[in-house]
Amino acid sequence: MRKNILILLLIGIFGASFACRNDKGKDLKTINVKPVYSYEENLKKEVAVIKRFLGESPKYNSDVAFFLDMKIESGKNRFFIYDLKHDKLLGKGLVGHGSGSETGITGKLKFSNVKNSNCSSLGKYAIGGSYTGRFGKCYKLYGLDETNSNAFDRNIVLHKYYDVPFEQQPYPICNSLGCPMVNEKFFVVIEKFIDSSKKKIILVMYY
């Protein structure tokens, strides 16, 4: 009787360990963990890069900079006004990207520095003087990197547009012809920083 019980126990233990090994094998095959995107971590990295750049370029404003995270979908806040001295956000809002940057795949954008591409261009920009254009007050943008060196010639400017919503949306917002395009109310916030700055403010677009 004891021998039979012992045999049954051994069979049970062997079966359980085999099942565990089997389950582990299945887990390794079926689990596909996708890393969660953290805009905070990427913002910190970009801030660090810009701080180093400004340390070598004293002609630009070293107190405030604008960060545009194009990895975030357009219906969510992705234009960040950042206090470089105290490491904190001063404001955030929606910003449209160029229609040419669309790929037809949700969450995937492409970028170009080519004229008439209607694409957004990644890189650092110096925000220049204002003028009155098609959409009212606009700010000229000067590309400081190889990826956006044609910004001025492409007429890429920072401007407002009435159809860009102020609140976050569950869907993508309207596109521009390559310019960073913001809500009219948010533009008022942005222009206060730009117009009161004695030095050019840096705007960086990253992905």
Percent of the chain with pLDDT over 70: 83
Where is average pLDDT lowest: 4-8, 18-22, 148-152?
18-22
For residues 170 and 191, what is the distance between their CA atoms, to the nearest angstrom?
27
Indicate yes or no: pTM above 0.85.
no
Can you give 114-179 as a three-state secondary structure string? Answer: CCCCCCCCCEEEEEEEEEEECCEEEEEEEECCCCCCCCCCCCCEEEECCCCCCCCCCCCCCCECCC
Residue 97, Cα to own-chain centre: how many angstroms? Answer: 11
Question: What is the pLDDT confidence band of residue 32, given thresholds at 50, 70 and 90?
Answer: low
Where is average pLDDT lowest: 16-20, 53-57, 105-109, 163-167?
16-20
Q: What is the pLDDT of residue 144?
A: 99
Q: What is the pLDDT of residue 20?
A: 34
Summarize pLDDT for 64-108 with one digit per residue, the tens.
999 999 999 999 999 999 999 999 999 999 999 999 999 999 889
Question: What is the pLDDT confidence band of residue 34, given thresholds at 50, 70 and 90?
Answer: low
**Burial class for 96, CB neighbours closer than 10 Å (0-12, 13-18, 19+):** buried
Are 191 and 52 spatial neighbours (Cβ–Cβ below 8 Å)?
Answer: no
21 versus 117: the higher-pLDDT residue is 117
At 159, list the tokens: 């401007």
**pLDDT of residue 26 exceeding 90:** no
**pLDDT of residue 1 exceeding 70:** no
Those residues whose C-beta lies under 8 Å from the C-beta of residue 84, and which sit 6 or more positions away, are 47, 50, 51, 54, 62, 63, 64, 65
- Mean pLDDT of the region 179-183: 99
Instruction: Give the Cβ contact number of residue 57 at 10 Å.
Output: 16
Instruction: Specify the CATH architecture of the domain 37-203.
Output: Beta Barrel (2.40)
At 176, list the tokens: 């521009």
SS3 45: helix
133 vs 98, 109, 130, CA distance in Å? 18, 27, 9
Any idea which residue has 């021998």 for tokens? 3
